[in-house]
Structure 1
Amino acid sequence: MKIIVSPNSFKGSLTSIQASKIIYEGLKIYNPNFKIKKLPIADGGDGSLDIFKLYFKYNSVKKTFLNPIGEKITTEYITIENNKTALIEFSNASGLILMKNKKRDLRKLSSFGTGQQIRSAIQMGVKNIIICMGGSATIDGGTGILRALGVKFFDIYSNEILDENPIIKMKNFDLSNFILFNKKINFHILVDIKNSLLGKFGAVKIFGQQKGLKEEDFNFFEKSMCEFSKLTDKKFLSKTGNIIGGAAAGGAAAFLKEFLNAKIYNGTEYILKKINYKSLLSRRFILITGEGRLDSQSLFGKAPISLIKFLNKENFFSIAIGGSVEHKNIDKFLKHFDLVFSSCDSNNLDFCIKNAENNLFDLSKKIGKIINCLNLSK
């Protein structure tokens, strides 16, 4: 029986491509005769672009764009399908990874650079734009993106907002210069969460802390997001607050759905279909998947469980690896997987990240032994 190795990234330590290679090597050390196929995956978060590069012929477009604090950086997006489709990773121009050792004032951070990438792709003449929404640094409801596409935002005094996060004092917006007027472009937004925009499980309350939002600013940002939602709903006759996955990328997903007439997809399922994942499998197989942490969020749209659901009618034995595993949810994980392992038993996150490669390699050797003992590879 073939072993299929399909991890997501181990956030902060290993890409999915690196993780699949380490698992492969660990299994082979134990038994060189294992038949193993590496099929790393992504969920629409960091590293999704690299997965598309792995499975598609592509062209890289490298240009100068702005990061969340307005500094010029060189980053890329790619085109596939004979340049008809552009793939943009939100985090490449507007990601949390770009803010290491930088002051994070969420009243000023903007997704404008991602909007520049979208504008560049539109000017290239693409027909489809796929935006992978994970890993964002911003909570601007996508207003930075929309500004780059020609939308103007105004404060209570009818002054255009240029240097701050528009969402914090916006009272109106104008679409007169919107670049998408009279253009037919299909926008697909890939998310790895199911959270809607507002409330205690929304963009601000759930994801604000990891982006550096100060405790005293939570209610202010929630109110601001709610105001933008009301303005948008009035203009487009929509219900942005109820959109599943709308909380992704600091609320950008919900508003881009309306302004760009975009469709929102579960990132893992979309990518698996796009790369024709099932066609790469054997009739019977052992599946090894995983990601940096298996916790309550993993149950709502993250890659490993989304992969299992995608393969629900296939004939396979499943093994999940978490860099760490939330033990109170272990019974829930075991409803989806046959076996669940943690590659690091320490509660020290820095230790687990620093030793991620060695820990995953050692665990993979042990999993190889288990596969042998259970006679699963026959």
Structure 2
Amino acid sequence: MNTNVLIAPNAFKHSLSAPEAAKAIQLGFEQAEWKGLLRSFPIGDGGTGTGSLLAAVLKATLIKTPVENLLGVIELVEWGWCAEEELAIIDLSAANGLHKITDDQKDPLHLTTYGTGQLIKAALQKKAKEILLCVGGSATIDGGIGIAQALGVKFIDHRGNEISTPVDLIHLAEIDKSGADKQLQNCSLKVLCDVNTTFLGAQNAIEVYGPQKGADTGMQNLLIRSFKKYNSLLEYYGYESIAGIEKGGAAGGVAAGMKTLFNAQLVDGFETFYTYTGLDKQMPEFQILITGEGKLDNQTLEGKGPYAIARKAQHFNIKTVVVAGVIQEDFNIDNSPFYSAYDIISNFKNGNDFSQTPHFLTELAKRIANDLKDHLWKH
């Protein structure tokens, strides 16, 4: 009996990219001599690397553009360009990702998304009609002011000096959009979000995600004060409030800032990936789906890639097995669309050795394949 398997993991944070995870899982199924089609289709949900995955599937031309990175150094950064569709695909993390700096270099009070703005500027210079901006994995909490500055917006204090860092927004007195790139008016900007958090208010993104970007409680309070001032100025100028926009907290408020200043559409990261890559057309071929990510917890069940694709699989009566580095205690498979769940930590004595993650994942995939044979083919 042949059973077709779709191998569609998300990235395993800190250890494997989505393509690397897919490769390791497929190798395990091959070693188990699986009978049936095996197809790898690594997925993204707006998080780190989603743009690269989209660019690969859509056969985009990769363009290298010199931009100012987080530390102010000029660096060549790749983005995708589909000339026929006049479509640009940009990963915010390529220029401004948390993975690009050390713990000692984390500085959420001053780091900005200026480099990402330069990538968008480059896309606009090619007369892009549509830009997909994937915003996961950022090192910044700047509300998108860095991007805005690169696109010609000025933030000015009461002395007439231009403000360029998030913490200094507390002194904001004027927002000047007169120099903003006019090509923005001819371009649809879609921000692919991997979280639903709002930027300000209860359960705001600054407090929820600030610590991983280096923001202690004192820094969080400073940033909240600064962005409340920014928000009041936006409202004074007649713009939409950045405070309670759904998905607005993505990438330290980039999503909210882009929607307010440039009328960007904030879209579900996985849903956009799913349709743009044509994965929706391929699902009916398969009976089993293997997905996964670094950590399974309650956040997984709030719409992360593995959860989102498992929900899609349900529509086609596809059984989904999820695999992870670790399964947190708050993860309840009974309230999920998953058929079964496996993790590396509980299956291997030294499973927390990230350098061996590919090997562990292959061995675990082999075990999953054999378990599936027992359950699906013998019953």
Please indicate the TM-score interval, normalised by the length of the shorter structure. over 0.9
2:369 partner SS: helix
Q: 1:350 to 1:143 in 2, by over 3 A?
A: farther
Matches within 5 A, 1:327-342: 327-331=329-333, 334-342=335-343
- Taking only aligned residues, the RMSD between alpha carbons, in angstroms, comes to 2.3
1:364 partner SS: helix
Q: 1:348 to 1:141 in 2, by over 3 A?
A: farther
Matches within 5 A, 1:28-177: 28-80=30-82, 82=84, 84-100=86-102, 103-162=105-164, 166-177=168-179
Separation (CA, whole Å) in 2 of partners of 1:6 and 1:203:
28
Separation (CA, whole Å) in 1 of partners of 2:168 and 2:148:
10
Q: Which runs of 5+ in 1 are unaligned?
A: none
Separation (CA, whole Å) in 2 of partners of 1:135 and 1:102:
17
Separation (CA, whole Å) in 1 of partners of 2:91 and 2:132:
8
* Shift of residue 281, structure 1, vs aligned partner: 2.7
| Corresponding residue number in structure 2 for 1:322 | 324
* Shift of residue 33, structure 1, vs aligned partner: 2.8
* Shift of residue 31, structure 1, vs aligned partner: 1.9
Counting aligned pairs with the same residue, the percent is 29
Separation (CA, whole Å) in 1 of partners of 2:144 and 2:119:
13
* Shift of residue 370, structure 1, vs aligned partner: 0.7
* Shift of residue 39, structure 1, vs aligned partner: 1.2
User: Over residues 298-317 of structure 1, what are the superposed CA-to-partner deviations in whole Å (9 max), with x where a residue is unaligned?
Assistant: 12221011112334421211
Q: 1:168 to 1:297 in 2, by over 3 A?
A: farther
* Shift of residue 215, structure 1, vs aligned partner: 2.6
User: Over residues 146-168 of structure 1, what are the superposed CA-to-partner deviations in whole Å (9 max), with x where a residue is unaligned?
Assistant: 00011111123232224775535
Contact 2:291/2:322, CA 8 A, preserved across alignment: yes
Q: Which runs of 5+ in 2 are unaligned?
A: none
Paired AA for residue 274 in structure 1: Y
Aligned pairs, number: 377
Runs of 4+ residues deviating >6 angstroms? 346-350
Q: 1:236 to 1:100 in 2, by over 3 A?
A: same
Contact 2:29/2:365, CA 8 A, preserved across alignment: yes
Contact 2:65/2:122, CA 8 A, preserved across alignment: no
* Shift of residue 80, structure 1, vs aligned partner: 1.6
| Corresponding residue number in structure 1 for 2:362 | 361
* Shift of residue 337, structure 1, vs aligned partner: 0.6
After TM superposition, the structure 1 stretch with the greater mean CA deviation from structure 2, 237-246 or 22-31, is 237-246
User: Over residues 234-258 of structure 1, what are the superposed CA-to-partner deviations in whole Å (9 max), with x where a residue is unaligned?
Assistant: 3344232221111111111001011
Contact 1:127/1:186, CA 8 A, preserved across alignment: yes
Separation (CA, whole Å) in 1 of partners of 2:17 and 2:345:
17
Contact 1:188/1:262, CA 8 A, preserved across alignment: yes
Separation (CA, whole Å) in 2 of partners of 1:226 and 1:191:
22
* Shift of residue 279, structure 1, vs aligned partner: 1.5
Paired AA for residue 172 in structure 1: E
Q: 1:347 to 1:236 in 2, by over 3 A?
A: farther
Separation (CA, whole Å) in 1 of partners of 2:318 and 2:336:
14
Q: 1:32 to 1:321 in 2, by over 3 A?
A: closer
User: Over residues 83-125 of structure 1, what are the superposed CA-to-partner deviations in whole Å (9 max), with x where a residue is unaligned?
Assistant: 6000110011111111126522222211100001111110111
Separation (CA, whole Å) in 1 of partners of 2:285 and 2:51:
29
Q: 1:101 to 1:349 in 2, by over 3 A?
A: farther
Contact 1:69/1:108, CA 8 A, preserved across alignment: no
Q: 1:330 to 1:163 in 2, by over 3 A?
A: closer
| Corresponding residue number in structure 1 for 2:345 | 344
Q: 1:108 to 1:237 in 2, by over 3 A?
A: closer
User: Over residues 292-332 of structure 1, what are the superposed CA-to-partner deviations in whole Å (9 max), with x where a residue is unaligned?
Assistant: 11112112221011112334421211111111111222245
Contact 2:290/2:323, CA 8 A, preserved across alignment: yes
Paired AA for residue 171 in structure 1: A
| Corresponding residue number in structure 2 for 1:302 | 304
